[in-house]
Structure 1
């Protein structure tokens, strides 16, 4: 039997990894990949997939709101793909909802997918609806905003994992953003505005339309006669802060 699968994740690398994993299962037909919530919702309504790999944090509509919007009579089996902390993982496990914690290996994917295949064999719609009831419990538990703990960056044939706490500042560079750590710089194909949604505002602030900085790495702020400011980092790097964003740092 063939099962239809849809992937919804805003990270290109994550979509590629899931696609490569699914190629190992001949019973799977990948019907579409989506990079935002609204597109994914329309695609689910169009294809009526059996399984959806759903990222929690996506632009336009997050994974939780998307799942709440699904027709219970045509409900796919949802596998959440997330970078949540231990509390959220416990919520998944308590409610018997499967998940993939980024980054995951072949063994973890296989364990998850064997469980998915067993659940797909359910023919009793009441049983399948019972799974959705557990989704409802999960939604209540993770209703609070969550932020990424790592970011994945493709570097040639390798995928590097960068801790968010290691980021000193992030800058827009055309269609890319540059991620700066103490020793390295990485380019990521993503907009600065979208990447900002993944960052905890308690730790990261925008100081310019093209710059976000980690508060923990700021040494001092210097004012200029024209109303702009210089943000001096602990590594002596100097960043410009425009007057339009000064309230993010200066009250």
Structure 2
């Protein structure tokens, strides 16, 4: 049976930004671009009528902002949203919009693929009529420890680091190797609890004790166990939003 494509709209006041995203989407199977909008007012009308599955929205636009566009749409028909911005911080007002991801301009190919993978994973649940469907995030890892098989709850994992085609789970004083790439794991973890901070690392949000901005728009993270990790600028918008949401609880 042929799979249903995810219908995508782009909202951005910059023609070149729309063109760049449109060109990239043409090479990603399973996604169908159905509309582009260059301003917020037109976007609200068009999105309400067209009801796409996924929308890439520029946060900062003249007139009605990207956040205002999403907020103007009924929550029960609001599309999955990926927020795109030239800045690496977000206001608390973005929380209730439940964005899938936050991309920093210029958009990195790897980060775009992560956002699209997240949309693919969320899409089947979005189509369910039963609102009580559980979120599609993994709750446990099945790992080998010597001759034994161990179940590790995701809530116990403090950070995950890349190890070639594998990944290492850090659980208190123990480490476990899982046969999966970091990129694949990032798509399976609840973004409210875990965030990828670098191509080689994922951290549990409540493990971050301090974030210190660096001059190149990267950041240095100090974890609660004292470890220092560098956070790449391309992951900073989603990380800042997740930290603000966590602190607001």
- Normalising by structure 1, what TM-score? 0.46
Q: Which of structures 1 and 2 has the bigger CA Rg?
A: 1
Larger RCO (CA under 8 A, 6+ residues apart): 2
